[in-house]
Amino acid sequence: MPEGDTVWRTADALHRALADRPLTRSDLRVPKLATKDLTGRRVIGVVPRGKHLLTRVEGGLTLHSHLGMDGSWRLYAPGERWRGGPQHQIRAVLANADRTAVGYRLPALDLLRTTDEARVVGHLGPDLLGPDWDPEEALRRLLAEPGRAVGEAVLDQRNLAGIGNVYKSELCFALRVSPWLPVSLLPEPERLVALAKRFLEANKTRTARVTTGDPRPGRQLWVYGRDGRACRRCGALVRVAGRAVAERERVTYWCPRCQAAPPETSPIPPNG
């Protein structure tokens, strides 16, 4: 599932493959961009912003993309078979003489003036992996709605950019708090901000996320994806709540024993 670390890693790979080279192919397969052609323009750079990717090209243009739930950019050598999905899932192709970048299942793809990037990313809070990272500002934004549930607040990209459903569940578990605990009752909220930063920094160059400190397969995460299995810390069964398990962005994993909260502050979760 793409989160801030995945987007950072994707941007790094795209930047190394495309930057400072002219495009020899540009194929944007969404109706509103079907007539746009970036061929011949030099790629200036690829920048991550929270869960957004900004590919800047000559002429003051930026191709903005978002990975959503299962989108990806894949890189291929000349003549290499594209294996990221069927042709109908391809939304963008950018190539130079040495590498081809193919964007699959991208729910958002826009071409805009670089000076207008704020139109698509200006609402975001401090980026956990960006040069604008400001823990004090992130904390201020989180505490601005004291009645909001912690899990909901950390998912809001206007507070701090880069947290998705995996880190939401893992952060709440690591801090031993219920995801439904109001922000105002969060002990030492600055610890949440610091841990979020530490998690993403530690994982931005890894292909498999690790929050437990144990990189062995099947042992990397505390609770995410482990519903019905024993909590690694106390042995209680990990639970899952959400509209539907298939809607991964709305699913929360937690241990009812390790993350207990006072009954008056922690409502019964949906489908819990």
- Cβ atoms of 127 and 140 within 8 Å: the answer is no
Question: What are the distances in angstroms from CA 121 to CA 47, 98, 117, 183, 255?
Answer: 12, 30, 6, 25, 34
Written as six digits, the tokens of 105 are 């299942």
Written as six digits, the tokens of 172 are 């709440």
What is the C-alpha separation between 112 and 63, in angstroms, rounded? 7
Per the listing, tokens 């950390």 go with 154
Per the listing, tokens 């298939």 go with 246
* 51: amino acid identity, one letter: K
What is the C-alpha separation between 260 and 188, in angstroms, rounded? 17
Residues designated as active site: 2-3, 51, 250
Written as six digits, the tokens of 107 are 């729910």
What is the C-alpha separation between 151 and 183, in angstroms, rounded? 9
- Cβ atoms of 78 and 110 within 8 Å: the answer is no
What is the C-alpha separation between 82 and 70, in angstroms, rounded? 17
Q: Which of 262, 236, 1 is nearest to 254 (CA)?
A: 236
